[in-house]
Amino acid sequence: MDGLFYSILGGETNVQQLWTDMTRRITRSPVRLRPAKDALSSDELKTILRGADELIGSGGRTLLAKILKGSKDKKVLELGLEDSPVYGAFDEMSADVVHAKIDRVISEGYLSYEYSGRLPLLVYTDKGWEIERETYAEELFDKLRAMAEGGESAFDVAALKDRNRGMIMLLLDILEAQADERFIPLLQRWYDVEYKKVRQRIESVIRTIKTIPK
């Protein structure tokens, strides 16, 4: 089949030329930013970056705005984006205001975008991810604390596996700083499902918690 395909198109050179011609025909959707004039608060910046986490490399500004507005749009619900912790956080703002705030975050270099075909998809910049990983680590810590305190929680520590390594190490730093022995059973359960490097850090955190005077 491959030989027939190549012979019909006239060989490898023509196949490569055809692919080049096809990619050149893709018209990228332009990105026209209309950033808010006023600076965002720290909480607003963190909220937008947190909402973007579900869309990195897969969605754009419009979908992010729908998450923040709490939209019941079909695509939002199909993708389960209503489960975002910041879903509806800007529900009292107009759509234009929400879009302007998102554009401000992009124009200040916390978010950027990369094209997939013709569509611009959101990505974190280094300084945007630095803020988001702290926000996410604190969010995960709150879930672990609720479990440690005996509260109801559907969170499974196995869900921590395969998360961003830098964010996971930051979470472990927070747990170590808390030095709360109630976290030890959770850390042991987490240890059982993790990879070697993270397991080594978990062991270190457990040792620290056990050696700190109560």
Task: Please spell the DSSP secondary structure of 125-180, one letter per residue.
Answer: -HHHHHHHHHHHHHHHHHHHHHHHTT------GGGGTTS-HHHHHHHHHHHHHHT-
Distance CA(144)–CA(11), nearest Å, equals: 59
pLDDT number for residue 67: 98
Contact 132, 66 (CB under 8 A): no
Residue 74's Cβ-count burial label (10 Å; 0-12, 13-18, 19+) is exposed
Helices (H), 10-125: 12-24, 42-52, 61-69, 74-78, 95-107
Contact 75, 63 (CB under 8 A): yes
Distance CA(76)–CA(74), nearest Å, equals: 5
**Phi and psi, residue 200, nearest 5°:** -65, -40
The model's pLDDT over 129-170, given as tens digits with 9 standing for 90+, comes to: 999 999 999 999 999 998 888 855 567 888 899 999 999 999
pLDDT band for 20, please (50, 70, 90 cuts). low
**Which residues, at least 6 apart from 6, have a Cβ–Cβ distance to it below 8 Å?**
12, 15
**Cα-trace Rg, the chain:** 23
Chain position carrying tokens 């893709």: 26
The model's pLDDT over 101-126, given as tens digits with 9 standing for 90+, comes to: 999 999 999 999 999 888 899 999 99
pLDDT number for residue 104: 98
Q: Are strands 119-124 and 111-116 parallel, antiparallel or unpaired?
A: antiparallel
pLDDT number for residue 22: 55
CB atoms under 10 Å from CB of 26, counted, come to 10
Domains, the chain, ordered by start: 1-29 (no CATH), 42-124 (1.10.10.10), 130-211 (no CATH)
Tokens of 123: 């990505």
Calculate the alpha carbon distances from 116 to 26, 112, 190, 200, 207 in Å: 10, 13, 36, 38, 46
